[in-house]
Structure 1
Amino acid sequence: MRPDTPGRAARPDALLWGVVSTSAVPSESAPTDGGAPVSLASRMPHVPVERLVAEMVPPPRFDGVRFETYVPDPGQPSQAAAVRALAGFAASLTAAEPARRWFRREAPAPAGPGGMYLDGGFGVGKTHLLASLWHATPAPPERKAFGTFVELTNLVGALGFQHAVTALSGHRLVCIDEFELDDPGDTVLVSTLLGKLADAGVRLAATSNTLPGRLGEGRFASADFMREIQGLSARFTSLRIDGEDYRHRGLPEAPKPHIDDEVTTAAATTPGAALDDFPALAAHLATVHPSRYGALCDGVRAVFLRGVEPVTDQATALRLVVLADRLYDREIPVFASGVPFDRLFSEEMLAGGYRKKYFRAVSRLTALARDAERLTERQNG
């Protein structure tokens, strides 16, 4: 089965694996500064492997973040404590190359914490802090990497395990955002990769999410993380970050969906718009490897969707999660008709094994829907 065909029933996130084109085919996703809206469902981007490696940097949304720009909630002391701890960790790193250990299978952990793990709920600023750590690390961009757990598994799928180790073992720091514990195979693969990198002297940092319903139960995600990366747990210092989702803090409820005609009209008057019917786009995502979803959005400044409907197929839902992440990373507003985004995934899905992904997607799509409201208000004002 091709990796970019619909997922296998036994493991719907198998879509996140596969061979990525290594040919430098020009992208079909040219900038859309004017003219009629483009359709994401008509694009089939080809992404060279080299681009996957080069793009392991904080996404555009986090280009300008620094420790100094993080605003801790005064009511949550753990937030300010996390800033201090991470700033100290960054200061402990030097621009020196990691020591290469050619003749030893095992190596002692570097002095001090070899890794930092940020544990907390959705929207407490973990990605902001992780990106700030990347920016504060005194090494050139090509010697530090930043990517989501899914992007890291995609890189391994594209390069092969040993080549991925070689590509990253010369780095000073590797940051993994949204470390996912819902698939044992992927978790073991990535933890093995991180073990190889740690043995090469690479420092590590990761984030994950505690589910909203488990926030009162102590270090739930932290305990899971440490268990799943057994060989690495001694090298990580865990930082708990408490707080409410800043994307919804003090803000009104998510905007109500629009009608189809409003979506069509708004897309026609918005530079750089992409306009799609939701069912067609959801079907098209099955034909594009998730590692290419970022390229799918190249040149797009706003996404307009007609007829958003509840998703009943888990493989489709997981693809939409990846798309939501790429749209959020690139700060692309989403203006939609149909059901509100908090009804995109069923209650059964939100209670199932992939619930962390779905909660994150709802949070991010809601934020992007608010961005779309402000965008259209400015244009109409």
Structure 2
Amino acid sequence: MNFARLVDRRPELTPDEMVQAMTPPPRFESARFETYIPNPDEPSQAQAVRDCSGFVERVNAASAGGSWLRGIFGGKKKQAEGKRGLYLDGGFGVGKTHLLASLWHATEGLKSYGTFVEITNLVGALGFAETVRRLSEHRLLAIDEFELDDPGDTMLVTQLIAKLTDAGVHVAATSNTLPDKLGEGRFAAVDFLREIHAMSERFGVVRVDGPDYRHRGLPEAPPPTSDEELSRLAEATDGSTFDDFDALCGYLAGLHPSKYGRLVDDITAVHLSGVRAAPDQDVALRLVALADRLYDRAIPVRVSGEPLSALFTEEMLQGGYRKKYLRAISRLTALSRDLTRS
């Protein structure tokens, strides 16, 4: 059978397309503060909505007020409400991305939204100075899935945030790690503590607690199918793709993660045969990035082989990237359940 395959796609993005694409992904196009449903058992969630709404009001007021209000809000106030940065910290599945997208939608004027890897790739494509020039014209930069995975990214992002906030740009970010703990367990973060702490001083931290909403009261993910059944289901699903898991992992190694979103654009469902645990950390992190882009676009997933919960080894789940891997499992499980219900 001739199936459409992800490995046959050749996604490309020009620098201008990267800038134009800096908006919330399709799943969060309609996200608003009013549509965020706080868990009544977690008061921090309702408080986070209030804190984000207040931050937006300050962003819009500072922009409308020009240099006079910029001077007020750009001073050395240590209170969270005086800082140009808002940092949503909490576990996966508590709605941080929904809040970030809502914040972006409520901000007036020029603004940009991207994942951490999309931001770093933009700098790689445009150059640091040109990225600063373009984004300095914006009122807000929203960064989803903020993480520092290596020393180069640490230096790059801290410098970018410093330049943008000094230019009057407000920055909002989500992460599973407090800003002064970024990089812990992944590289020699002690060598970069000054840079990390300098960056964290620019953010007011808003905690969002609670269980993973994607699985509250819902059944477990469906078990893997047989290869034959997977092939039949892929053939019956218009606009879907069918790939061998190992072949896809090999293909992703040669594709920059910033292109993973374009890779799965316009796909209705993804079918993967022979799923097994990622053989090493590099492969695992690419799978995390792919899972995030599939989730952004609400693209269902069906597999054969091992269950999606077995994508990452116990050793990986106990290491420095634990939160990333758990988020990927949570999102992929939700996507596999979506396809079963459809």
Q: TM-score, normalised by structure 1?
A: 0.80
Structure 1 residue matching 2:214: 3-state secondary structure = coil
Give 1:222 shift: 4.8
Q: Secondary structure at the match of 2:120?
A: helix
Identity within the alignment, %: 58
1:114 aligns to what? 84
- Contact kept, 8 Å, 2:180 with 2:197, in 1: the verdict is no
Q: Which residue of 1 aligns with 2:103?
A: 133
Instruction: Rate the CA distance shift 1:109–1:316 in 2: closer, same or farther, 3 A.
Output: same
Shift of 1:97: 7.4
Q: Structure 1's 187 and 356: CA in aligned 2 closer, same or farther, altered over 3 A? A: farther
CA–CA distance in structure 1, aligned partners of residues 281 and 57 of structure 2? 43
Cα distance between partner residues in 2 of 1:179 and 1:45 = 24
Structure 1 residue matching 2:271: 3-state secondary structure: strand
Decide whether aligned partners of structure 1 residues 63 and 77 sit closer, same or farther in structure 2, where only a CA change above 3 A counts. same
Task: State how far apart, in whole Å, the 2-side matches of 1:109 and 1:329 are.
Answer: 37
Contact residue 180 and residue 196 of structure 2 kept, 8 A: no
1:187 Cα offset (Å): 2.2
- Contact 1:113–1:236 (Cα < 8 Å) also in 2: yes
Distance 2:64 2:321 in 1: 38
**Other-structure match for 2:294:** 327
Which residue of the other structure, out of 334, 337, 340, is the alignment partner of 1:370?
Answer: 337
Give the distance between the partners of 1:76 and 1:371, measured in 2 at CA: 26
Q: Which residue of 1 aligns with 2:137?
A: 170
Provide the secondary structure at the position in 2 that maps to 1:337. Answer: strand
Say whether the 8 Å CA contact 1:37–1:272 is kept in structure 2: no
Partners of 1:171 and 1:41 lie apart in 2 by: 36
Q: After superposition, what is the alpha-carbon deviation per residue over 1:303-362, rounded to whole angstroms, capped at 9, x for unaligned?
A: 111111111122111111111111111110001111111111111111222222212211
Kindly state the Cα deviation for residue 229 of structure 1 after the two structures are TM-superposed. 3.2
Shift of 1:173: 0.4
Q: 5 Å matches for 1:36-75?
A: 37-75=3-41
Q: Within 5 Å, give how 1:274-289 maps onto structure 2.
A: 274-289=241-256
Q: Specify the alignment match of 1:21 in structure 2.
A: none
1:203-352 residue pairs with structure 2 within 5 A?
Answer: 203-210=170-177, 221-225=178-182, 229-352=196-319
Stretches (4+) displaced over 4 A: 97-100, 225-228
Q: Aligned partner of 2:58: which letter? A: S
- The residue type paired with residue 74 of structure 1 is P
> Aligned pair in 2 of structure 1 residues 63, 265: CA closer, same or farther (>3 Å)?
same
The aligned residue for residue 10 of structure 1 is none
Higher share of residues assigned helix = 2
Instruction: Return 5+ residue gaps in structure 1 as ranges.
Output: 1-34, 101-106, 211-220, 376-381
2:94 aligns with one of 105, 124, 127: 124
User: In structure 2, the residue corresponding to 1:44 is in which secondary structure?
Assistant: coil
Shift of 1:72: 0.4
Q: What displacement does 1:133 show?
A: 0.2
- 1:152, 1:204 → 2: CA distance? 12
Deviation of the 1:301 alpha carbon? 1.0
| Residues 182-233 of structure 1 deviation map (CA, whole Å, 9 limit, x = unaligned) | 42331221121011000000011111115xxxxxxxxxx3541596632233
C-alpha separation in 2, matches of 1:369 and 1:165: 39
Aligned counterparts of 2:12 and 2:91: Cα–Cα separation in 1: 35
3-state secondary structure, aligned to 1:94: helix
Query: Cα distance, 1:36 vs. partner?
Result: 5.8
The whole-number CA distance in structure 2 between the counterparts of 1:136 and 1:225 is: 28
Please say if 1:76 is aligned against 2:42: yes
User: Separation in 2 of the partners of 1:159 and 1:276?
Assistant: 33
Contact kept? 1:99, 1:201, Cα under 8 Å: no
C-alpha separation in 2, matches of 1:295 and 1:83: 31
Distance 1:364 1:187 in 2: 26
Q: Which amino acid aligns with 1:76?
A: E
Alignment pair present for 1:155 and 2:112: no
| SS in structure 1 of the partner of residue 207 of structure 2 | strand
Using the alignment, how far apart are the partners of 2:267 and 2:253 within structure 1?
20
Q: Distance in 1 between matches of 2:256 and 2:202?
A: 33
- The corresponding residue for 2:71 is none
Structure 2 letter corresponding to 1:117: Y
How many equivalent residue pairs?
322
Instruction: Provide the aligned C-alpha RMSD in A.
Output: 2.1
Give the TM-score normalised by the residue count of structure 2: 0.89
Take 2:261 and 2:65, find their aligned partners in 1: how far apart are those partners?
Answer: 31
Task: Kindly indicate whether the alpha-carbon contact (under 8 Å) linking 2:179 and 2:200 is maintained by their aligned counterparts in 1.
Answer: no
Structure 1 residues 99, 155: closer, same or farther in 2, change over 3 A?
farther
Q: Cα deviations across residues 32-61 of structure 1 (Å, max 9, x unaligned)? A: xxx964110111222212111111110000
